[in-house]
Amino acid sequence: MSDIAIVPAPRQLTVDEGRWITADPVADAVRDVVENLDPNEYRIDISADGARLTAGSEDALRYAETTYAQLVESAEPAADGKVAVPLAHVEDAPRFGWRGMMLDVARHFMPKEFVLRIIDVLALHRLNVLHFHLTDDQGWRVEIEAYPRLTEVGAWRAETMVGKMSHGQQEFEYDGTPHGGFYTKDDLREIVAYAADRGITVVPEIDLPGHMQAAIAAYPELGNHPDRQLTVRQYWGISDDVLNVNDATVEFVKTVLREVLEIFPSPYIHLGGDECPSVQWAESEAAQKRQAELGLDEPGQLQGWFTAQVAEVLAEEGRRLVGWDEMVETDCPKDAVIMAWRSAQRGEVAAKAGHEVVMAPCESVYFDYYQGDPATEPLAIGGNIPLEKVYDFEVIPAALSDQEKALIVGTQCQIWTEYMEGPEQVGYMLLPRLSAFAERAWGSPKVSYDEFLARLRPHLARIEALGLNYRPLD
Ligand code: ACM
């Protein structure tokens, strides 16, 4: 028998002496959704008489199936073409409700088929959120019928900078190769349905009011210098070209969001809010007038006002606003879920301010960071997050009170794709760090890194079977 290798490990697993002999462990197992378990909870009981999977909901039954499939891989051949399955008992439920991965398809467009494989690998790890970063300075990836130029113009850039961008860099070498692509509404509905069938919610992000250069290139009237024709940005970093704060722009964004809500049934909608410079608002007569009308002290405060205006569309539809941690500093609605990315400490600040928080700190779960020696690894944005560091990640900051800890609703890893041109590069950066991340998101018992590696080695074959690339273990 090969050893049992379940990733992420269930909260409780006991293995007994003996075997269940069966022709087909999957077909012969009994399954039930029951009322005496919590909606996320499931059990697996394998006795000499058979296997029984019970769960508190259809979603939890899916978790049971995923765990069970990994468990029965350790069966041995028996007489008459049957197999001998180890007797085991699993009691399991996730520690967190939000167990996510963010995929940036704006910096580099990723084909729909690959997005479906990403959903498969999330399901394999009993993760339940795909945060889809659909728009940024370098590309707009979602079809919006009211504003066709968002994809006709905004989804394409003429060329892309080559090599690593350094701080303050102004001059670049370019590859001379056009890049782009977008998802039609049908593509997105297919992705949403495929994810839903696997218990995964697709949370779309329309990043605003910064990170909007692609949209402004398509519709210059959205910018603070409508007389300037911008290009879809061809290099990385933070653009000063942010949305203006005119009524017409608020209405434009609301129309976009109504179409987005129609595609994505997610109860959560991400409106970005990160890295929004206010230099253009400080220089703009119209923004200054708006600031004075609203009685705001600083141009940066216009961000909170703008977000609150467009978030009305979410409230009308009963959806919940999610934003990056800068939003805490911009007077955002109190019921906004905050995604702490700049540091774990930003998550503490958000929880202390009473927000629900998804922990996504760059120092632990930014998978665009290096995972080994930069001299031998593919070009990456910086940092260093080897596999073991992900395994050691503690989601909940220790400094919080019990009441504040209860506001940490989950965690999420990030794939920003400035330095990942396609599926092969994404697979290399994501996997198997995602496997270690899934252990922390699920709340698997932390036995030791070596124990994790012993389960991970056979698990890599499951990742390979999905056709995904991964970084081989050292
Ligand atoms: C971010 O990394 N700008 C959220």
Token pair in block for residue 118: 């990403």
What CATH number does the domain located at 98-465 have?
3.20.20.80
- pLDDT cut 90: percent of the chain above it: 98
Q: What's the whole-number mean pLDDT along residues 235-241?
A: 97
Q: Give 232 Cα–ligand 1 centroid separation in angstroms.
A: 19
Q: What is the pLDDT of residue 144?
A: 98
Q: Give 90 Cα–ligand 1 centroid separation in angstroms.
A: 38
Give exposure, 438-451, as e/b (b: 16+ Cβ within 10 Å).
bbbbbbbeeeeeee
Atom number in ligand 1 closest to CA 341: 4
Distance between CA 197 and CA 195 in Å, rounded? 5
Distance between CA 29 and CA 41 in Å, rounded? 18
CA–CA distances in Å: residue 159 to residues 108, 150, 220, 402: 12, 18, 20, 50
> Which residues line ligand 1 at a C-beta cut-off of 6 Å?
274-275, 324, 341
Q: Give 328 Cα–ligand 1 centroid separation in angstroms.
A: 14
Token pair in block for residue 227: 């007389």
Residue 18 has phi, psi (to 5 degrees) of: 105, 175
CA–CA distances in Å: residue 263 to residues 11, 143, 192, 268, 287: 35, 10, 8, 13, 32
Q: Give 324 Cα–ligand 1 centroid separation in angstroms.
A: 7
> Does 136 participate in catalysis according to the annotation?
yes
What confidence tens digit (pLDDT) does each residue in 365-401 have?
999 999 999 999 999 999 999 999 999 999 999 999 9
Q: Do domains 12-92 and 98-465 have the same CATH topology?
A: no
Q: Give 360 Cα–ligand 1 centroid separation in angstroms.
A: 10
pTM of the full structure: 0.98
CA atoms within 13 A on the CB side of 147: 28
Q: What is the pLDDT of residue 311?
A: 97
Token pair in block for residue 66: 């995923």
Q: Give 340 Cα–ligand 1 centroid separation in angstroms.
A: 9
Q: What is the pLDDT of residue 331?
A: 82
- Which residue has the CA at smallest separation from atom 3 of ligand 1? 274
Distance between CA 128 and CA 262 in Å, rounded? 21
Q: What is the pLDDT of residue 326?
A: 97
Domain at 12-92, CATH from 3.10.20.30, 3.40.50.10330, 3.30.379.10, 3.10.129.10: 3.30.379.10
For strands 201-208 and 179-180, give the pairing: unpaired
What confidence tens digit (pLDDT) does each residue in 37-84 have?
999 999 999 999 999 999 999 999 999 999 999 999 999 999 999 999
User: One of 108, 125, 211, 270 is an active-site residue; which one?
Assistant: 211
CA–CA distances in Å: residue 181 to residues 97, 142, 259, 440: 32, 9, 19, 34
CA–CA distances in Å: residue 253 to residues 69, 82, 186, 310: 45, 60, 21, 7
Q: Give 383 Cα–ligand 1 centroid separation in angstroms.
A: 14
Q: What's the whole-number mean pLDDT along residues 238-260?
A: 98
Average pLDDT value for the chain: 97
Token pair in block for residue 436: 């270690």
Atom number in ligand 1 closest to CA 360: 4
- Which residue has the CA at smallest separation from atom 2 of ligand 1? 341
Instruction: Return the best residue to mutate from 324, 339, 363 for the ligand 1 pocket (most ligand atoms within 8 A of CB).
Output: 324
For strands 201-208 and 268-272, give the pairing: parallel
What confidence tens digit (pLDDT) does each residue in 195-222 have?
999 999 999 999 999 999 999 999 999 9
Atom number in ligand 1 closest to CA 362: 2
Distance between CA 47 and CA 32 in Å, rounded? 16
Residue 324 has phi, psi (to 5 degrees) of: -65, 165
CA 459 to chain CA mean position, Å: 22
- pLDDT cut 70: percent of the chain above it: 100
Residue 211 has phi, psi (to 5 degrees) of: 55, 35
**pLDDT above 70 for 1:** no
Nearest to 250 by CA among 305, 195, 194, 320: 305
Q: What's the whole-number mean pLDDT along residues 289-316?
A: 97
> Does 125 participate in catalysis according to the annotation?
no
Contact status, residue 210 vs residue 241, Cβ threshold 8 Å: no
- The structural domains of the chain, with segments of one domain joined by +, span 12-92, 98-465
Q: What's the whole-number mean pLDDT along residues 264-284?
A: 98
Residue 466 DSSP symbol: T
Show the beta-strand stretches assigned E in 228-274. 268-272
Contact status, residue 222 vs residue 252, Cβ threshold 8 Å: yes
Atom number in ligand 1 closest to CA 366: 2
User: One of 65, 73, 120, 136 is an active-site residue; which one?
Assistant: 136
Q: Give 341 Cα–ligand 1 centroid separation in angstroms.
A: 6
Distance between CA 308 and CA 299 in Å, rounded? 15
Q: Tokens 């939000």 map to which residue?
A: 98
Please, what is the end-to-end C-alpha distance for the chain in angstroms?
Answer: 26
User: One of 159, 187, 190, 275 is an active-site residue; which one?
Assistant: 275
> Does 225 participate in catalysis according to the annotation?
no
Token pair in block for residue 463: 């990742």
Q: What is the pLDDT of residue 399?
A: 94
Token pair in block for residue 210: 């910064």
Residues sharing a CB contact under 8 Å with residue 259, sequence separation 6 or more, in sequence order = 144, 145, 146, 185
Atom number in ligand 1 closest to CA 211: 3
What confidence tens digit (pLDDT) does each residue in 115-171 have?
999 999 999 999 999 999 999 999 999 999 999 999 999 999 999 999 999 998 999
